[in-house]
Chain A
Amino acid sequence: MKGVRRLWLAWIWCCAWLVPRWRRATWRAQWRADLWYYDRWLESESVGRLRAAAALILRAGGALPHAVILQFLEWSPVMLSHDVSFGARMLARRPAFTFVAVLMLGIGIGANATIFNWLQHVVLQPLPAVDVSRLVALHGTTATRDDLSFSFPNFVDLRASKPAGLEDLIAFRAVAMNLRGDGEPRRVWGELVTPNFFDVLRVEPALGRRFVEADHTAEVVVLSHGAWQRHFGGDPSIVGRLITLNARPFTVIGVTPEGFRGSVLGLSLDVFVPVGMQRAFMSDDRLGERGTSFLQVYGRLQPGASLQQAQAALDVAAARLAAAHPAQNEGRGIAAEPLWKAGAAGMMLPIMAILMAVVGVVLLIACANLAGLLLARAAGRQREVAIRLAVGASRARLVRQFLVESSMLAVLGGGAGVLLSAWAAGLLRLLLPPTPLPIAFESAVSPLVVLYATGVTFAAALAFGFLPALRASAPDPVVALKDVTSAAGGVRGRSRLRGALVVTQVALSLVLLVCAALFVRGLLRAQTMDTGFALREGVLASIDLLPNGYDPGRGAIFHQRLLERVAGVPAVVSATLASNMPLDFGGGSDTSVAIEGYVPAPGEDVQVYYNRVGDRYFETMGIDILAGRALDERDDAGRPLAVVVNETMARRYWANQDPVGRRIDFGSGPAVVVGVARDGKYRQLTEAPRNYMYVSLAQVFRHDALLIVRTSGDPAAVVPSLHAAVRELDPDLPLFDVRTIAEHLELSVFLPRIAGSILAIFGLLAVTLAVVGLYGLVALVAAQRTREIGIRMALGATRGDVLRLVLRQGMILTGIGLVTGFGLAVAAAQGIRSQLVGVGPTDAISFAGPAVLLAVVALVACALPARAATTLDPVTALRQE
């Protein structure tokens, strides 16, 4: 009990400082007595030691609200309104100071609110318009994986077994499809869903009805509110209308409420059709295949049931499924996890964590700077403070006055920040990764963000206002009244605090700048990297034959005709098809390969990435063929499978031999190597040389392909002709994701570019703030030393001496800041190392550059007031009093 007693005595002592002075002694005695009696009472009741300690701590906790309330009782409304109107006058009298302060705070708070807004949209509201309480995501698991989807028969059996603790289960799958309402066909994203989908998600349609069990195999569709508005102009008689999905007629039965965007985390989906219609939207008939997993599953916990209970029931169900269908389900389990852990939200968290850290640092710098400004101003107000103290104001009263002023600044800054974030929220769209998937993006500023900004604002007001307030309220009245500028002791102490703030700012801005430099340097290096293909001027577009019911035979013919037509378009140099474009993050599929004459080491699995390419691929892409021949129109379905391998693969598996003519098997039957292509970059610019091979799209057919067109002149000019070429062949087929090669190459450096820009913007912002702080400090100290400088000059000091004198202080602070920042930057660089392209985390130039830049800017910031000091007329300076 001794330890606890000492603890609460210290606690009471601390809280006492908040109590108005005239009550303090009584207050302390009263609380000591209270706790003493309570302690005794606990002892007499023989309460357990731990519980007694907890009870005492709880009881002592009451001292804090008591102290705060007593402090507030002192704040009469009249006095507070005096404080506020006085503060307002002080702020209005210095518009420049007020403007700079509000701007700095606005930027700091705005940046925080913007990132927080995004965070809460992604993490806190994973599925808008859905009741997500008690919703859990189910995954299939094996010994090595925990993110598998479900086959339809497994889902049906699982649902029929009614696992205890779960109300009901739904299954769904995001699919791309072609929608034709009025006019042009469009590529849209939708979901295959079980009929109970909307019931379990608790979503009431805005128009029409939900699915019922009988809809399972009916050609019916529910549209999202957005799709209804965008594609059908909000037609009020939409329910009952026929629309065309993948060239089949579907009846619209309902429209979802506004904001609903489907059940897939992070995506925004527009069209909902029964899973029974799977055949119209995905290849093969999957509904009867227990081995074909393609559905995601959510369940809703029963009220009062825990995740653990449901998990136990799912374990039993999984064991039963494995026993009943060992061929497909042997060794597979089912795991449930809360929604916020699943899917895109989990993936986005690291990026958001970095962003939150960056904006936090910016706010910290802004607060440090503002604290510096307020300290400088406090120095100028010492006379006022001294007079007020002399006429009997209490220190608490003065602290309160200063805090009211800084709170007013914070409120203005917070308002500016919220406005700023309302504008900046849309900019975050730039941070979304480039993918054809319909990433959900919400930028509306929610009330929660305003609440958050308010919290940040008051934290900031305390952070930047408290220290200056304490400092300002404690001058020595005698000295201060005599003369502000010669109050040497006060000034030195004050500038030491400001010095520490400047050091912090220099250090933090160096950290941001170094990280930015690392990204930018990597980016520059990436742009000069050899991609392995020469194509720079041209167009890419996607096409998908599956929705419109092509079989491989008809598909191959369509591909061939399309290429013929595109080749006839003016300004098209050559055109081809491929299933992947290099540097698209994906880089093709990988497959196990058996190579004749190569004996894999024990346990070695020969995995090779490959791309399916059409006629004239190598010519269009500008990839050199080093031996043998390219794939061309000869390699069609009727001929033996042909393969072109890259240099690395040739060297790896046919060292010192000619690979041309050798046989391999990649799972589609025996194939012959017909050529060797030059190495390139396939997934991203930073990858090491890797095995790669090309197979013929006509021989290993795929429904979705990329049309790659090389043009002479403006690539965008041929786009209408490409659309026309497709329309002539099939009016129901959309050409989508049309982009130029230049745009595609931009995407390959997307992440480092975004990270680099953000860090550079915030870094430069931080440097500006730090330099303003430094300038202010040096100028202040120089002004305070005017007399001293005048004396020195009168005694024969040269201008150079004076310059050095003033510069020295500023540069020492900069030096300390740089050294501290350097250490922090080394640590930060290690933290972001996995995101860097083309540079290591110890890149010398990325460290030296920002350091030199900061040093130079700091030198200029110090030189300006220093120069002003040298032009002093000693006589004037000495007469200043």
Chain B
Amino acid sequence: MIHMKLTLRARHLELSFWPLIVVGLAHLFYETIHMPMGKINLPGAGVFPLALIIPMVLMAIYRVTWLLTHKDEDTESIVLGDKNIFLALAGLVGIALLLDLLGFVITMGMFLFVTFKVFTESSWLKSALRAALTVIGLYVFFEYLIGVTLPMGPLIAL
């Protein structure tokens, strides 16, 4: 497997995370106040989300304040972003885009081929064979044994 690591301080990651949460909550707040609030004896759709957004914002502000005022206490490092992780995520995106277009066999076959090759560092031929066998086995298992209908894409003509 290929390893390439990104290291950063845990508090830096959190300090970028919480403000994003607050921005998101601000947007949700804007959406919520446009929802019907109803009456006290018939609370509307906006009451519950509003009751949740407020404590969430308070917790976010508290945490950011703590992180900014306790720089020396939080020194842990976090390792992020291995190349294999990016490949797995890119694979998922590729599957989401291509599954309906190219079908299960072709899409998953390509995904398995690339990931087997990169993750196990085996030869192209071995990876291709293993990917082909695996995807055919999975197709038979899901389609015929479990009864799940899988998209076939251009192979539907077969």
Whether A and B are associated in the same complex: the answer reads: no
Interface residue ranges, B against A (CB under 8 Å) = none
